[in-house]
Chain A
């Protein structure tokens, strides 16, 4: 920083500052303002149109006594934990395998990444057909002679979330793999050589040397995956529409339906505020660790 005094500070990089004004305004007015507005109106009894008639915590009390909301939260937890674990494990394994200097690496990478180019709606419809008992996987395998084969997750309330996780993993793992592969390629060859000289087995090298070195990649991937989990909506809508019954409902769907179908904005705002809270619980400690830590170090 040059020591030119006051004018330099404000007018330094002036064009860059002017260029970022629209984005700053968007962030403050749309994101922050919209968030505040939503939180405030979640304490009102707004129906189809917003109105400032405060009812205290009534919307939240109703929210937490609604079975559908509880189911939604549980489902999000199931989906979140499973897809977090499996997309990391599978993504890393695929990346590690691709990293063995195999032939046709580009082809494999393209194949694995292809599903990510599809939207959740398309993914959901494709998997809805694959898992449909009347003409999907179950039908084909029964046709091959296994008459009693049953694989029907989307019509079974206990299994439906696993069907959705399956489709989600199919769509998203390719991206995780690519991120991991980039991370692996960033590891210096010399480290591998050193490990080999020391006689450390490959799996140990991965587990105790390479993975800790890939921390930044893991953190970035974690944020991307988590954001995808919290906003889970279209996949469910395309695959099951929340069914059977309410067995595959998710919070984002609850928000949408109470705001627009049930014409009860207050209830929808309360639910979305709870979603915001859950994101904040995850993001704030992380941001503190990431950015707060750097300043100290």
Chain B
């Protein structure tokens, strides 16, 4: 993984010179796993069809690695044509510093205000009444992916919620399986914690902690239950020595592990492996507990450029990405939900349909990327990776979590 990150950095630096000719637009992103690469190729295809040229600037490793490279390039005066960030606050200061261009004209012409659903997505792209980014998909974190084969091998029925999953774990272990596959990176563990918080604690608790940043609630009895469950997750994940999330998903796909808590982007991996939702694997939104999803996901930002031809191409790209056809093609491959309420996802599989249904019910919340700053997220990731690697008690971890929420911004 790290070697690939290096390679990508090197190719990235070599790729700069040929981004110079007109209407070639370099787009940086961190979509490098099998399913992701297939999805982003749809964007490239649609953009190339307009006569412009998509210069792919994939940065491998993880979003964390990629974002620091993107930010240094933009602040260092070497901006790309367009770049991916997650919905929310990651590019907040870049926008405020005037390094990004607004897309008001295109938004007006395409009437995005009325087609983007849920509207909160567009709101998190706005600053002082101007639109600075376009959401391209909705990704939700709140999924438990289960290997039907692993449970069949262990001789227990596939669980329908988190409690049943924990109860079925001993049988899995007896069959020589690791119950919960977890990649050893902080953000993946934070994801599990946040999912448990929303799944077991419910919407109000989630918002009290992350939106109101109420340290008393974060240190209280309700969150204590979540940390107890996290303690279970830690026990169940013993022996999963993989690093990246797709390696962990591969363990579920091959039936070596019982399940994985991961966002719906894991779905793309199942699809690439030719697995069928419902028969080969099972997905439980909200971990089978509270049926809420957070509307995280990816957005595209467009750095301010001097070259008028490239600026024109940026507008074309924005239009292409949000067109109904591209939205459908891209999201089917990516396993995410489209940002337009008016497209038909007839080809969607079981899991995506579950997600669409929740979206339709309006059971959507802002993701942590939108609620807390990257600084707080980093500290949270550190805490979680420490908790998973060491014998820290749930009580100590909660105490530090409460302190973190108190100083959060």
Contacts and interface: CB of A to CB of B under 8 A. Distances in A.
Interface of A: 47-49, 62, 66-68, 121, 125, 132-134, 155, 157, 237-238, 241-247, 257-258, 260-264, 267
A237 B62 CA distance: 13
Contact of A48 (B93, B382, B390): B93
Interface in B62-109: 64, 67-68, 71-72, 75, 90, 92-94, 97
Contacts of A66: 379
B379 A262 contact: yes
Contacts of B92: 48
Chain A at the B interface: mostly helix, strand, loop or mixed? loop
Nearest to B185: A241
Interface residues of B, number: 33
Contacts, number: 83
Given A245-B387, A245-B390, A246-B382, A47 B375 contact: yes
A241 B243 CA distance: 10
Nearest to B376: A262
A238 B4 CA distance: 12
6 A-B pairs with the lowest CB-CB distances in the bound complex, closest first: A245-B389, A260-B68, A244-B389, A262-B378, A48-B93, A245-B386
Contacts of B11: none
B75 to A, nearest CB: 7
Nearest to B99: A49
Contacts of B33: none
A39 to B, nearest CB: 20
Given A125-B3, A241-B2, A243-B184, A263 B243 contact: no
Interface of B: 2-3, 6, 64, 67-68, 71-72, 75, 90, 92-94, 97, 184-185, 241, 243, 373-375, 377-379, 382, 385-390, 400, 407
The CB with the most chain A CB atoms within 10 A, among B72, B94, B375, is that of B375
Given A47-B93, A47-B373, A264-B375, 10 more contacts: A62-B407, A125-B3, A132-B241, A133-B241, A238-B2, A241-B185, A261-B68, A262-B378, A262-B379, A264-B378
Nearest to B391: A157
A282 to B, nearest CB: 28
Contacts of B75: 48-49
Contacts of A238: 2
21 contacts: A47-B373, A47-B375, A48-B75, A48-B92, A121-B6, A125-B3, A132-B241, A157-B390, A241-B2, A241-B185, A244-B390, A245-B386, A245-B389, A246-B389, A260-B68, A260-B71, A261-B67, A263-B90, A263-B373, A263-B374, A264-B375
Contacts of A241: 2, 184-185, 243
The CB with the most chain A CB atoms within 10 A, among B92, B93, B386, B400, is that of B386
Contacts of B400: 67
Contacts of B93: 47-49, 263
A68 B184 contact: no
Contacts of A258: 375, 378
B241 A262 contact: no
B167 to A, nearest CB: 27
Contacts of B3: 121, 125
Contacts of B389: 157, 243-247
Contact of B64 (A68, A125, A155, A261): A261
The CB with the most chain A CB atoms within 10 A, among B3, B92, B241, B243, is that of B241
Contacts of A237: 2
A121 B385 CA distance: 23
A165 B8 CA distance: 29
A152 B71 CA distance: 37
A243 B382 CA distance: 10
A263 B94 CA distance: 11
Contact of A246 (B72, B97, B385): B385
A62 B72 CA distance: 25
A134 B241 contact: yes
Contacts of A134: 241
B378 A48 contact: no
A261 to B, nearest CB: 5
Given A49-B97, A134-B241, A264-B375, A243 B71 contact: no
Nearest to A47: B93
A237 B61 CA distance: 12
B375 A267 contact: yes
Contacts of B388: 244-245
Contacts of B90: 263
Contact of B2 (A125, A157, A244, A245): A125
Nearest to A244: B389
A189 to B, nearest CB: 49
B385 A245 contact: yes
Contact of B378 (A47, A67, A261): A261
A246 B125 CA distance: 34
A67 B386 contact: yes
A95 B331 CA distance: 63
A156 B92 CA distance: 38
The CB with the most chain B CB atoms within 10 A, among A62, A125, A246, A267, is that of A246
Contact of A261 (B241, B374, B387, B407): B374
A53 to B, nearest CB: 13
B72 A260 contact: yes
Nearest to A160: B389
A48 B3 CA distance: 27
Contacts of B390: 157, 244-245, 247
Nearest to B75: A49
Nearest to A46: B93
B228 to A, nearest CB: 19
A135 to B, nearest CB: 11
A246 B379 CA distance: 11
A41 B377 CA distance: 23
Contacts of A257: 378
Contacts of A262: 374-375, 377-379
Contacts of B387: 245
